[in-house]
Amino acid sequence: MTFSSAIPDLVTEIWQQVKIPVIVPLLRVAVVVGLTMSVMLVIDRLYMSFIIFMVKLFGKKPEKRYNWEPMQQMHEDLEFGGSVFPMVLIQIPMYNEKEVYKLSIGAACGLSWPSDRFIIQVLDDSTDPTIMEMVERECKRWESKGLNVRYETRIERKGYKAGALKAGLKLSYVKQCEFVAIFDADFQPEPDFLLKAIPFLLHNPKIALVQARWTFVNSDECLLTRMQEMSLNYHFDVEQEGGSASSAFFGFNGTAGVWRIAAIDDAGGWKDRTTVEDMDLAVRATLRGWKFLFLSDLKVKSELPSTLKAFRYQQHRWSCGPTNLFRKMVMDIIRNKNVSSLKKFYVIYNFFLVRKIVCHAINFMVYCMILPATTLVPEVEMPKWATVYIPLTVTFLNAIATPRSFYLVIFWVLFENVMSLHRTKALFIGLWETKRANEWVVTEKLGQMLKNTNGSRANRKPSIRITESSSDPFSRTLRFSDHASSSERIKHENFQKEIMLAFSRNYVNFSVGLMMLKYRRSVLKYSRGSKAIKMHGRS
């Protein structure tokens, strides 16, 4: 017998020797941890869904929960020079936003508000001199039309977005402003945005933030954007709405919101210690006793990342930042005396632990590691309720937030599992605060779909979209537009290859799991047969 032929027998012997005393106890502990995480997640999902159900059932709209009166029409207030309208600062942070800078500035300038009662502050941190010149020229163009548009730059670009917003609030002309509305460069507020948001702040002095809902103008561009839409719709329609309706807590989304400037100052201002400066400010303001309001009917158009590279960078920031912030603020939350113990428990357990840690870790640790490992160790089993019922419940509650994409739920599950390793890695990077913990890569914005919705631009079709066949409502196909350029075709072909590679990798994992399951069943069948033979021999 050669050495190479003896290796399989040697590996099998070593496996049998370490399996019972080492592998089985460790795997049982891992199963208990996985079951605990599964129960935590499904209870939180059911709790939030129950709140949304009660809100819909009893019609608990914000207008009924808070003092609210509509703003006077502008033409009724002209004789007073718009004095009834408070001064509002509109901040638009930018970083090399060549494709979308005109859209965001134009939308802000088109807000229905007296021109002498709001200031548009374009905070340009661009590194490209050509783009900076283009943005400054656009600001001057609107300024020549009688609008108060300020173009601001920084010599030292410290603190990324938080640093820009903080520097903008320190300027002397901001002292006359009572509220600040923040829009990222790819966001387009409707003209009545301030008319709907400001009244809640005027008539409720304890409200610090009014957060609007995002809508996605390029959700049909490709399969990647459809997957993002499903996840973000649940975030806004359930997590944000539920946190607002229950007066518990929800985080600021970083854009499409109006802050009371006094609340920002009271909370300590913007801080750049993490990549989630919006969440950082929201937690600190909550600990100071301020309240937040989410308006699901107040919608702002935005653009989803349409390339896998941009999406991965965004998800790294969204997964790493919250855990890093939790690491730095957990003791401050516990020691805080301004809010109730119930709210502190909600922030620590529901918001951070379940939705920012368990939610991301469970897909990879349980369904990609622990569950496949149990197929190799027949002595350890996971109950059916944890492997079937809980995943089905969580998936259904997430997918139902986007009814039009329910038929894509299988793709969504595969996609979430593919991204689980990336998110879990980012999660631990944030907890351990390694080198990439404060990595900030600005999400690439193409601006094509936003331009399609702008009436002043050509009605150009997206280069790739998901469409429904008129003859068969259940058949959905990916089609390229005849108007797409060759470079766009190549880009989307590469994207399709990336997505298919990711899905195929997940399919291979699924196939290997089935093979392991068959192997486990054969081992169980063999072991039971051996026990039966031994019992028969003894008898």
Structure tokens at 489: 């075709």
Exposure string for 507-538, b = 16+ CB within 10 A, e = fewer: eebeeeeeebeeebeeeeeeeeeeeeeeeeee
How many CB atoms within 10 Å of residue 120?
24
Q: Evaluate whether 379 touches 24 at the Cβ level (below 8 Å).
A: yes
Q: Using CA atoms, how far apart are residues 142 and 122, in angstroms rounded to an integer?
A: 12
Q: Does 125 qualify as catalytic in the annotation?
A: yes
Indicate which residue of 44, 186, 220, 278 is catalytic. Answer: 278
Tokens in use for 62?
């914000």
Phi, psi at 210, each rounded to 5°: -115, 115
The packing angle between helices 24-58 and 390-399, to 10°, is 40
Counting every residue written for the chain, the total comes to 539
Catalytic-role residue among 44, 125, 220, 280: 125
The one-letter amino acid at 63: E
d(CA 386, CA 114): 57
75: exposed, middle or buried (Cβ count in 10 Å: 0-12, 13-18, 19+): exposed
Examine the residue annotation and report whether 278 is marked as an active-site residue of this protein. Answer: yes
What is the rounded CA–CA span in Å between residue 516 and residue 124?
Answer: 55
Active-site residue set: 125, 278
